[in-house]
Amino acid sequence: MKSLREYLAWAEEKQVAIGHFNVSDSEGFKAVTESAQELAVPVIIGVSEKERSFLGVAEIKVLVQAKKDQGEPIFLNADHTYSVEASKEAIDAHFDSVIIDGAEKPFFENVTMTKEVVNYARAKHPDMLVEGELGFIGSGSMFRDEIPEGVSEKTQTTPEDAKRFINETLVDLFAPSVGNIHGLVRSGEPKLNIQRIKDLAKVVTIPMVLHGASGNTDEEVLEAINAGIRIVHINTELRVAYKKGIEKGLSSDELAPYKFMAEGVAEMKKIVTAKLKLFNKL
């Protein structure tokens, strides 16, 4: 089976993006993997620090490995990891990739912690990919009344900083701030800065990752992919769909969890399938 690195080269060649969806439990895992299998496309399962503490690091690793053993291109990413220690835990567990998120820290500190994680990964599992983040985009996949504090056009990643960050850290994947925001902004999602993505793509030679794509329009996301984005993250929209689905499931007298939870899975699958079609241009 092709590795995540090889699939990213494939995505570059096809000018598509690989979908990254966060899950908190086996229902989320079922929804994401079934959707990807039905469309026969690769997919990345994302688990943030809190999501993996709920699921268990070893447990989610086993679930993903079971799919790999069946020949499915399902990959596992340790999403937003805020400490070197927690990154090392994901590296020890041999995930496919890990995101060390020092975006809220000063440039130098971000570089230092990112480098430490890159060095550890190279020594322990050289096939693992490390993603670095530069430019704060808010944290938490939730509803927001407004754009989070500290996020503005001024804090968007510049090509100069991107180049310097990548050269100094030697990360494999790069997540910039380009008008994207974690969570769904009730007062209206800001627009993605497509020109900035194009400018970054001129100097960034590693795959770029778009976080916080929930709430952005299909047209914008497609433009971002055409401008050079190779992984797109979706979390909040999936959480909204899941909650809506299980509320429907629980409103009947149904007692079997595999029946009332199935409503949640079905709602999540609608979102995942639509996003995967968009990202893969199907």
Residue whose CB is less far from Zn ion, 233 or 275: 233
Q: Which amino acid appears at position 138 of this protein?
A: G
Please state the residue numbers annotated as binding site for Zn(2+): 80, 101, 133, 182, 211
Binding mask 188-227 for Zn ion (x = CB under 5 A): -----------------------x----------------
Query: By CB under 5 A, how many residues form the interface with Zn ion?
Result: 2
Please state the residue numbers annotated as binding site: 80, 101, 133, 182, 211
* 52-60, 145-153, 190-198, 229-237 -> range binding Zn ion (CB under 5 A): 229-237
Smallest distance from Zn ion to CB 140, Å:
10
Six token digits for residue 97: 């990739």
Residue whose CB is less far from Zn ion, 172 or 263: 172
Q: Is residue 275 near Zn ion by the rule CB under 5 A?
A: no
The DSSP H or E segment spanning 210 is strand 208-210
Give yes or no for a contact between 29 and 23, defined as CB atoms under 8 angstroms apart: yes
Smallest distance from Zn ion to CB 199, Å:
21
Pairing of strands 143-144, 97-100: unpaired
Residue whose CB is less far from Zn ion, 52 or 233: 233
* 62-70, 185-193, 233-241, 249-257 -> range binding Zn ion (CB under 5 A): 233-241
Residue whose CB is less far from Zn ion, 82 or 120: 82
Give the number of other Cβ atoms within 10 Å of residue 267's Cβ.
21
Q: Is residue 20 near Zn ion by the rule CB under 5 A?
A: no
Classify the C-alpha dihedral 148-84-25-31 as positive or negative: positive
Q: What are the start-end ranges of the H helices in the chain?
A: 4-14, 26-39, 49-55, 57-69, 84-92, 107-124, 159-169, 194-203, 218-227, 236-250, 257-279
* Residues classed as catalytic: 79
Q: What's the Cα-to-Cα distance from 168 to each of 29, 109, 115, 239, rounded to whole Å?
A: 35, 12, 8, 36
Q: Is residue 239 near Zn ion by the rule CB under 5 A?
A: no
Could you list the residues that contact Zn ion (CB under 5 A)? Answer: 211, 233
